[in-house]
Structures are given as C-alpha cells and as structure tokens.
Amino acid sequence: MEATTAQANELERRVDLSIAIADVEKEMDQRLKRIGKNMKMAGFRPGKVPFSIVKQQHGDQARHEVLSEELDRVFGETVTAQKMRVAGYPRIEAKNTESTTHLEFSAIFEVYPEITLGDMSTAEVERPILEVSTTEIDKTLDILRKQRVSYADTDRAAAKEDRVVIDFLGKKDGIPFQGGEAKDYPFVLGQGMMLPDFENAVEGAKSGESKTFDLAFPADYHAKDLAGQTVQFEITVKQVQAPKLPDIDAEFAKGMGIADGDVTKMRAEIESNLKREVKRRIETKLKDQVMEALIKTTPIAVPTSLVDMEIQRLMQAARQDMEQRGMKNADFPVQPEWFADQAKRRVTLGLILAELVKTEKLQATPEQVRAMVEETAQSYEQPEEVVRWYYAQPQRLQEVEGVAIENNVVTWVVSKAKVTDKVAIFDELMGQKQ
C-alpha cells in the first residue's frame, strides 16, 4: 500500500491510494472458498461446488466487498498517519494508470477547520432586562380576557374588534373569479384575516347594508393570477357583533384553574408564570446575541459536507412536521435551498462551541443538569414525576445537558465581552402586537 496527499483548497483534501492487486485477489479467493464451503447447487454435494462456478456466481460481489474494505483500511491508515480530521465521507475516484501490480484511487474529502477562538473582549452584547410589575400582570390579564371574549349582536356600525358575518362576491373584469365568493363568512375586524382594504370597506357598515368597492391585490399576493390586479367586490353585511370581555372575578379565576375563585391567588400565579416566561425569553435573546458575537469574532471555513448533512436533517424534520399537520410533501415539496443559511449557521456555531467548550472546560456538571430539570418540572402539577421521567432514561437528559453547556458558554462570553443592559419592552419581548 502506498499513499500520497495533496491539498486542493482550504478544507478539501485529495489523497492518492494504491492497493496491491495481489492482496485483493488473495483475500477474494479466501472469501470465495468460505462461500463455497456452504454453497448448495443441484448436481453437487453441499460444499463441493467447483471453485470456478463459485467464482463465476459470487466473484463480482466478493471483489467489490474486498476492494471496499481495503480502500476503507488504506484511507483510514493514511488520514490517521497524517493526523487529518475527516469531515463527512470521502468521494473515491479510480485513476487511470498503466500499473499491472496496483490499483490506483483518489479519495477527495474535507477536513475540519483549525479554529482559533476570537478575542471576546472586543465583542459587544446587549443584555435585555425586565422586572415584572403590576403593569405586566395587568397586560397579561387583558390578553387572557381577550382569549375568552364573547360577542353580542349590535345595531351600530361595524368597528375594530367587532365580529362580522358577510356574504361577498369578487369579480375581475366583470367575471367572478375562483376563491372570490363566500356566504355567511365570519371574521373579526382588525385581526388581519382579510386584506386591509377589504376590512376598511367593511368597517363602518351596519347589519343589512350592501356595498360595492374596488380592491387592488398586492403585487406579492400568493394567487399569481390576482397579484397586482384590481377587482370589484360586492358585500352584504349580515351580522355585526360587539365584543364582550369577561370581568375579572371569581368565575374568571375558576376558569383559570383557581379552585376557590380567589382573584389574588390567580394574580400571584400569573405573576409566577410570567416571571418564569420573561426569564426564559430574556435568556433566549441574550443567548442569540452571544452566538452571533461568537460567529463574528471567530470566522471559520465550514465543511460543505457537514452543511449538506445538516440541510438533509432539517429537510427531514420539516417533512415530519408537515405530515403531523396533515400536509402532504408531494403537494408542498421541501427545497434544500430553504435551509442552506440556517444549516451553515448551525454547523458554524457547532464547530465554534465545541472548540470553546473544550478549550475553556465549559462542560455541564451533573448538578447543573439536575437543577435545570427541577426548574422545568416546577411548571407541572407533579414536579417529582417529571424529574423521575427525565432520569428514567439517560438520553432524555442529553437535550438538557446541551442547554446547560450553552448556558455555560453564555456566562463565559458575558464575563469577557462589553455588555450593555437595556430595558426590554414587554410587548416586544412576549411577541404581542402593539
């Protein structure tokens, strides 16, 4: 066996491999003899089939297997000897040579990049802060009330937050178009279910009123035959219902799971849950900034093979999610390019984090993992059962351990970087529309 190495680009390598034909033939014959000992064929006793027939029937397969194993062995020895960390799988190409004694191949592959961690003292990180007060509790209660809204008929003109029921008919150049007609169609004004111009036309109308108006579809509208087109709609308002929010009383508190209807207890529970959620969201935002800082301060080349593998993993996850939602992949095929940027970022971060954790010894401790499991369990009715569930199978702790490591990374980066505290806006933090 002989091997030589050549560097094609920053991460790609080409290794030339040479395998003795005699070695392949020898191992191939031994393998065929073992097959022949157990081979059965009409006209011959078991194990007595002539070697020429065994070779004729199984020679190609045996040769393929032996050659594949030899290539794996030679390739492994070569990269180990040269201390190369292979990323992904090699591509093997046969070489055209005049050698009568050796088979020549080239293995093309990528290696992991050499990572030099950047100077985190130059990184700038903005840390959000937010103290949960009465204001935030009241806002959350308001959201909970809106989630339990009821509607009652009203004679006044339709306004924002009213529920309306309408008939509508859309025409393009005087001809009704597909999807442009509905009877007894309900929606709430201001929730963005319909185009803004459509809602504006309905707003101000009373039950029993009809009207006709022009509507221009946006240029990026999902229906291409309507995108950028102006159509006419005829509508009839059949019902206008005003919203009625529930009072914050004992009945409301019972609906929130407070058995005795104590409003004070309900507010205390909301406060506790809110503090936990605000803490989680702040940690997520801080973590996102830390990860971005790591990418900026530690630029690295990323193996294409690892990115491609991550794309395939993300595509598979997307397909499974679609299936769970009742969607068929055939109707909505997943495209690799959708995940290219995300995959590259994930691989980049994975490589940087692995190096940082190793260099700075930021591995998670059993105590950290236990504390995180117990904290998660507090949001369930029977916390002790949740803890037991996690520890029943060690693999369930792997995700928790991964989060603990990320937390260690965040703590380390924050201790090194230029950190500025900024008061977070509650609505923005919680993802609520203003």
How far apart are alpha carbons 142 and 146 in whole angstroms?
Answer: 6
303 φ, ψ (degrees, to nearest 5): -60, 125
Q: Above 50 in pLDDT, residue 362?
A: yes
CATH topology (fold) of 2-111: Alpha-Beta Plaits (3.30.70)
**Whether pLDDT at 338 is above 60:** yes
* Confidence band, pLDDT 50/70/90 cuts, at residue 329: low
- pLDDT tens digits for range 11-22: 999 999 999 989
pLDDT digits (tens, 9 = 90+) for 113-136: 999 999 999 999 999 999 999 999
Please give the sequence-ordered ranges of beta strands (E in DSSP) within 146-272, or none if there are none. 150-153, 163-172, 175-188, 210-216, 230-244
Q: For residue 434, name the pLDDT band (cuts at 50, 70, 90).
A: very low
pLDDT at 360 over 60: yes
Position 406 scores a pLDDT of 93
Which residues contact residue 80 at a Cβ distance below 8 angstroms, ignoring those fewer than 6 apart? Answer: none
Q: Which helix (H) or strand (E) holds 287?
A: helix 263-297
For the segment 238-267, what is each residue's pLDDT rounded down to a tens digit?
999 999 999 999 999 999 989 999 999 999
Cβ atoms of 241 and 230 closer than 8 Å: no
**What per-residue confidence (pLDDT) applies to 9?**
67
Q: What is the mean pLDDT of the chain?
A: 90
Q: Could you give the CA distance from residue 392 to residue 109 in angstroms, rounded to a whole number?
A: 41
Query: Scanning the structure block, which residue is given the tokens 């919680």?
Result: 430
Residue recorded with tokens 């940082």: 356
| CATH topology (fold) of 120-133+259-430 | Trigger factor, domain 2 (1.10.3120)
149-244: CATH number: 3.10.50.40
Residue 142 has pLDDT above 90, yes or no: yes
pLDDT of 274 reads 92
A 10 A CB-CB count for 306 gives: 21
Structure tokens at 75: 């390739």
Q: How far apart are CA 100 and CA 98, in angstroms?
A: 6
The CB density around residue 206, as the number of other CB atoms within 10 Å, is: 12
Single pTM value for the model: 0.72
Structure tokens of 427? 């609505």
212 exposure class (CB count in 10 Å sphere: 0-12, 13-18, 19+) = exposed
Domain map (residue ranges) of the chain = 2-111, 120-133+259-430, 149-244
Q: Which amino acid is at 319?
A: R
